[in-house]
Amino acid sequence: MGIIFHEEEKQFHLYNDDISYVIGICPDGEVGHLYYGKRIHERQIVKAYQTRGVRALCCNRKEDENYTKEMAQLEYPAFGNGDFRTPAYEILQENGSRVTDLVYVSHRIYAGKKGIPGLPASYVEKDSDATTLEIVCEDAVAGIRVTLFYTIWEQRPVVCRHARVENMGKEMLDVRRALSLCLDLPDAEYTWMQFQGAWARERYPMERDLSAGITEIESMRGHSSANVNPFVIIKRKDTNETQGEAMGFHLVYSGNFVARAQADTYGKLRFVMGIHPQWFSWNLAAGEAFDTPEAILSYSASGLNNLSQSIHGFLNDHMVRSPYKNKPRPILLNNWEATEMNFDEEKILNIARKGKEAGVELFVLDDGWFGARNDDYAGLGDWFVNANKLPNGIYGLSKKINDMGLQFGLWIEPEMVNEDSELYRAHPDWVLGAPNRPRTLGRHQMVLDYSKPEVVDCIYKQLYDVISNASIHYIKWDMNRSITECYSLGVAPEEQGKVYHKYILGVYSLYERLMKAFPQILFESCASGGARFDAGMLYYAPQAWCSDDTDGHERVKIQYGTSYGYPIASIGAHVSAAPNQQTGRFITIGDRANIACFGTFGYELDLNEISDEEFAEVQKQIQFMKEYREVFQYGKLYRLQSPFAKDTAAWMVVSQDQATALVGLYRGCKIPNVGIELLRLQGLDADAVYTVDGSGEFYGDYLMASGIPTIDVSGDWFHGNEDFSTKLFVIRKK
Ligand code: GLA
């Protein structure tokens, strides 16, 4: 298993038990695509880039009259040489030409996988985990070398790709587009799934038919965004959760991106994904190179749920780097919704003390602890303690929290600055903004110019001082506005096309430095909730605050949508106060917890302010979560009923040994006089006997083929009066 090269046919077959990816060299030397999908025997390959009998308008080459790029399936195509579809790259040369012709020069196959300089990327634990193919192509006229990287994983239906562009000539090159992948498919009979939304309603799945024209999503916000996620599924039209072909595509990147599918009028489909070429221009001097971010291609021949399970395992095992990798996540209590910025040490200690009594493990101090931060207008950029609120400093507070037996965590928003801050007063040119023009504000803040190493350095030093002088186990890294007026002050005009990407490289470099200096820290990424929830971030922060919307009813939709592309252990989910801050809806504390447990779990309210009965319930919830969190966070997820299709949603997780399953059932509006519906379970051991909530004896096959009733005959599973109610079933092998 791995990669076979057939010298004579010049074909590469990347394969494992589940998938095959076949690449061939075209008659004119370009790298062609032959097959991607379910594992096949090698001899089944036809040279799909040959297009005999098709009349093309003036686009064949001398080498082979029957070959036209217009019809070819290509791995990294250009525009301008006979292929009229969306290109993978575009390079402007000094003479003004953009015409390029990359031809195969050499290749290398080796065990393992290399990292990508400055960028997040999946990694092997040992070289036998994966095999990598590097194909080197060159354009001798312009002095361009492009290396295409492909890694096929041994035990996963996953191929990872990226490209490196190098200037091998003497003249400058201006890379105007360098996407991470192009995948040409022989037909376009597919449906596209994107995960879209906005603040407080992130990652709702949405489908579009792909059979004609262009389908595209993008972010030009400087971050991956809540509006549309850099994860796309392309599936056959009859694919559902449990059957059919589906392909997943993640961009391992947190900045501007584009994903586009183009169905041509010959019925073929091209899919591309990568850094958005708008406002992108990366000049390369002789000898310099540019690496694209990685794209992860995942595949399932048996439905979306299987695709998600493969993705979850892959991201947990080969993207997350953290002492908490594949470990249960601490149950935390965050003070944001309890106090916002209005607190002092005593208030915080009171909240933390009650958290300890409830059983939480980690207390997190959110926004408002630094500089002159008493509201949104001031303080960002000044990462030293606000002594009026915390006279004993972060050190003193963290020590007191530790002495209670709790770990201590801290909120930061290191990419931002307020006009009213010492940092901005000292360095007004450290923010992104066009010369002589007003700047658009977001939450009264500006974006620091992370394309400048001195800015990243200054923030690193400030944070280093705070963290190294306290006892900190967790950092919530927030980012609360998009980038506008993207211009780096004082930097040469020809460098301005690099700013968006260099900004993200700056963010990654700060993460990397902090991780190195403080390896014990658990990072949670956040961007006004889930506006930067992507595979790139998971490389640094293994969990992400999924949404500011903690209303149980809304959270089911948000977490359900998120689960298509991201593991449960990455989904930051808390119980907050009711009525909910975002929706005003009242949901019982039990129902709120029944959603949050399918995530990292924690609380975001003042536990002193809830009733004694509720507090007793919280104590039980925490005990329950401690017992089952490993199953919730690392069990296999099965989506049973979509909240986007029905008013009642359901999902379940099954422990890897199939001994324990936890089923969450969520009913939207109260329905009078319903009959008994059965919810069919999945993933159990068919031959084993299980109890449901400690009673009965049911074979796994019965629970999967027939199901459990979604209402109790006695009618007491759902509360009488509220519109939203939930039920959590514990299924245990006898
Ligand atoms: C963002 C986050 C919240 C909270 C606030 C603090 O909105 O999503 O969780 O941290 O910032 O200002």
Model confidence over 501-532: pLDDT tens digits?
A: 999 999 999 999 999 999 999 999 999 999 99
Whole-number Å distance between alpha carbons of 154 and 151: 10
3-state helix/strand/coil string of 593-650: HHHHCCCCCEEECCHHHCCHHHHHHHHHHHHHHHHHHHHHHHCEEEEEECCCCCCEEE
Q: How confident is the model at residue 62 (pLDDT cuts 50, 70, 90)?
A: low
pLDDT digits over 321-357, tens only?
999 999 999 999 999 999 999 999 999 999 999 999 9
Averaged over 132-152, what is the pLDDT? 98
Would you call 657 a catalytic residue per the annotation? no
Fold category of 2-318 in CATH? Beta-galactosidase; Chain A, domain 5 (2.70.98)
**Rounded Cα distance, 577 and 596, in Å:** 13
pLDDT number for residue 190: 98
Residue 61, pLDDT score: 64
Q: Strand, helix or coil at 281?
A: coil
Q: Report the distance separating Cα 473 and Cα 468, nearest Å.
A: 11
Query: What pLDDT was estimated at residue 8?
Result: 87
For 154-199, write each residue's pLDDT tens digit: 999 999 999 999 999 999 999 999 999 999 999 999 999 999 999 9
Res. 593: pLDDT tops 60? yes
Pick from 411, 482, 543, 547 the residue to mutate for probing ligand 1's pocket: most ligand atoms within 8 Å of its CB: 411
Tally Cβ neighbours within 10 Å of residue 113. 23
CATH assignment, 332-631: 3.20.20.70
pLDDT band at residue 724 using 50, 70 and 90 as cut-offs? confident
44 C-alpha vs ligand 1 centroid, how far in Å? 54
Written as six digits, the tokens of 708 are 């459990």
Residue 463: count other Cβ atoms within 10 Å of its Cβ: 22
480: its two tokens? 């609360």
Ligand 1: residue whose CA is nearest its atom 3: 528
- 52 pLDDT higher than 60: no
Q: 548, 549, 551, 591: which is the annotated catalytic residue?
A: 548
Where exactly are the structural domains of the chain? 2-318, 332-631, 641-733
CATH 3.30.1380.20 fits 641-733, yes or no: no
* Token code pair at residue 229: 């996620």
Return the minimum-mean-pLDDT range out of 54-63, 85-94, 475-484, 518-527: 54-63
Q: Check whether 48 has a pLDDT greater than 80.
A: no
Least confident interval from 99-113, 429-443, 643-657, 716-730: 716-730
Q: What is the mean pLDDT of residues 460-477?
A: 98
Predicted confidence band at 672 (pLDDT cuts at 50, 70, 90)? confident
Point out the catalytic residue in the list 18, 83, 366, 478: 478
> Using CA atoms, how far apart are residues 665 and 594, in angstroms rounded to an integer?
9
Task: Report the range of poorest mean pLDDT among 110-124, 212-226, 446-460, 670-684.
Answer: 670-684
pLDDT score, position 670:
76
- Using 50, 70 and 90 to split pLDDT, how confident is the model at 677? confident
Residue closest via CA to ligand 1's atom 4 equals 336
Secondary element (H or E) of residue 252: strand 246-252
Can 2-318 and 332-631 be said to share one CATH topology? no
For helices 612-634 and 345-358, angle between their N-to-C axes, nearest 10 degrees: 70
Is the CB of 547 within 6 Å of ligand 1?
no
Residue 46's pLDDT band, with cuts at 50, 70 and 90, is low
The answer on pLDDT for 301 being more than 60 is: yes
Phi, psi at 422, each rounded to 5°: -65, -35
Which residues are CB-contacts of 703 (< 8 A; sequence separation ≥ 6)? 680, 681, 684, 690, 692, 731
Q: How confident is the model at residue 660 (pLDDT cuts 50, 70, 90)?
A: very high
8 A C-beta contact, residue 126 and residue 139: no
The CB of 581 under 6 Å from ligand 1? The reply is: no
What residues contact residue 313 under an 8 Å CB cut-off, 6+ apart? 156, 567
Judged by DSSP in three states, 70 sits in: coil
Please report which helix (H) or strand (E) contains residue 516, including its range: helix 499-517
Average per-residue pLDDT in the chain? 95
Atom of ligand 1 nearest to the CA of 604: 9
pLDDT of res. 248: 98
* Average pLDDT over every residue of 384-408: 98
Three-state DSSP at 62 gives: coil
For the whole model, what pTM was predicted?
0.97
Give the model's confidence band at 60: pLDDT under 50 very low, under 70 low, under 90 confident, else very high: low
Q: For residue 59, what pLDDT is reported?
A: 62
CB of 576 sitting under 6 A from ligand 1:
no
Secondary structure letter of residue 654 according to DSSP: E
Determine what percent of the chain is predicted with pLDDT higher than 90. 90
Q: Give pLDDT, residue 286.
A: 98
For atom 7 of ligand 1, which residue has the closest CA? 528
